[in-house]
């Protein structure tokens, strides 16, 4: 039995560090090229595992070198990969431009991530035996909807990161216990330009909205009201890739051990602040000891 089941993507990030984005038709030089295990699902799984949770990953990769590397990455962090399927489609890739100042631009080629549209019996059992189901929008909508239906019937808490943002099925929203968008995603989902108003509107459809706002921290809304705001921890950003995924993974890990929401949010904020000071996606994610040290929380487990 795992604390958290992550139904998500696994991509190999192909990362170029460059001063800015090129103009149409322009060729420019980059400073560095690296490959880093990523994908929003893998990122969140790794973040949760490093924060102390027992994690199982439900995903798909190709029968290629990238697929083998991603499987090894998950195993190295103690993540159960019995639900990782190998298919005859190339492993997903994310083409990441990291700009001077730490901001990034990303193009994702889903590949194997889109190859599975229904859960097998093993995946269904893993979900029913978990405490939390965590998903993102880098897998097919039908697959996420099926998983959330099963989770709700089994009393499993459902958590959705609506990224990349897209139109959400009304039924799916009604199955979400915790929705974690960033400010832009919240506005697009709600069809409202003001981020605070968007969060309030979304909180009328789901159990709880936790909207991340980068250097401005996070806002929590429930039942049409702002519950609390959480300040960010100042950090000198080197690379913001996967900072949001780090926040989500660490947050759900702390929630899975029944940590009060306020303390879990503090830990997640600390985890994100550490990640932006390091390069890469999964490679930037902190350990539980680092998170507790920066957040000032006492060690409560292990």
Residues 6+ apart with CB under 8 A from 44: 6, 8, 134, 136, 161, 245, 248, 249, 252
Q: Binding residue per annotation — 182? A: yes
Q: Binding residue per annotation — 239? A: yes
Tokens 């190295």 identify what position? Answer: 76
Q: Binding residue per annotation — 50? A: no
Nearest to 1 by CA among 128, 129, 134, 121: 129
Phi, psi of 67 (to 5 degrees): -60, -40
245 catalytically annotated: yes
Q: Binding residue per annotation — 43? A: yes
Q: Binding residue per annotation — 39? A: yes
Q: Binding residue per annotation — 278? A: yes
Q: Binding residue per annotation — 214? A: yes
Q: Binding residue per annotation — 12? A: yes
Q: Binding residue per annotation — 42? A: yes
Q: Looking at 100, 129, 169, 245, which residue is catalytic?
A: 245
Q: How far apart (Å, rounded) are the C-alpha atoms in residues 272 and 112?
A: 28
Q: Binding residue per annotation — 295? A: no
Active site residues: 245
Which residues are documented as binding site? Answer: 11-13, 39-43, 138, 182, 212-217, 239, 241, 244-245, 275, 278, 280, 284
Q: Which residues are annotated as a binding site for substrate?
A: 11-13, 39-43, 138, 245
Q: Which residues define the annotated binding site for K(+)?
A: 239, 241, 275, 278, 280, 284
Binding site for ATP, residues? 182, 212-217, 244-245
């Amino acid at each position: 039995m795992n604390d958290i089941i992550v139904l998500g993507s696994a991509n190999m990030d192909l990362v170029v560090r460059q001063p800015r984005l090129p103009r149409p038709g322009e060729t420019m030089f980059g400073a560095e090229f690296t490959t880093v295990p990523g994908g929003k699902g893998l990122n969140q799984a790794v973040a949760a595992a490093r924060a102390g949770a027992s994690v199982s990953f439900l995903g798909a990769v190709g029968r290629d070198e990238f697929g083998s590397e991603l499987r090894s990455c998950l195993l190295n962090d103690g993540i159960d990969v019995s639900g990782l399927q190998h298919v005859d489609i190339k492993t997903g890739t994310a083409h990441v431009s990291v700009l001077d100042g730490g901001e990034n631009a990303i193009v994702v080629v889903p590949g194997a991530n889109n190859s599975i549209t229904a859960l097998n019996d093993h995946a269904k059992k893993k979900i029913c035996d978990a405490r939390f189901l965590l998903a993102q929008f880098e897998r097919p909508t039908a697959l996420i909807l099926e998983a959330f239906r099963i989770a709700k019937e089994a009393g499993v808490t459902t958590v959705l990161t609506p990224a990349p943002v897209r139109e959400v099925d009304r039924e799916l929203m009604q199955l979400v216990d915790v929705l974690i968008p960033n400010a832009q995603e919240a506005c697009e989902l709600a069809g409202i330009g003001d981020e605070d108003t968007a969060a309030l509107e979304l909180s009328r459809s789901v159990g709880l909205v936790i909207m991340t706002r980068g250097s401005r921290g996070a806002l929590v809304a429930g039942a049409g009201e702002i519950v609390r705001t959480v300040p960010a921890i100042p950090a000198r950003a080197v690379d913001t890739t996967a900072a949001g995924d780090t926040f989500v993974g660490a947050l759900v890990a702390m929630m899975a051990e029944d940590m009060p929401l306020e303390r879990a949010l503090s830990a997640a904020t600390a985890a994100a602040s550490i990640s932006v000071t390091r390069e890469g996606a999964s490679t930037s994610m902190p350990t539980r000891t680092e998170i507790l040290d920066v957040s000032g929380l006492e060690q409560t487990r292990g």
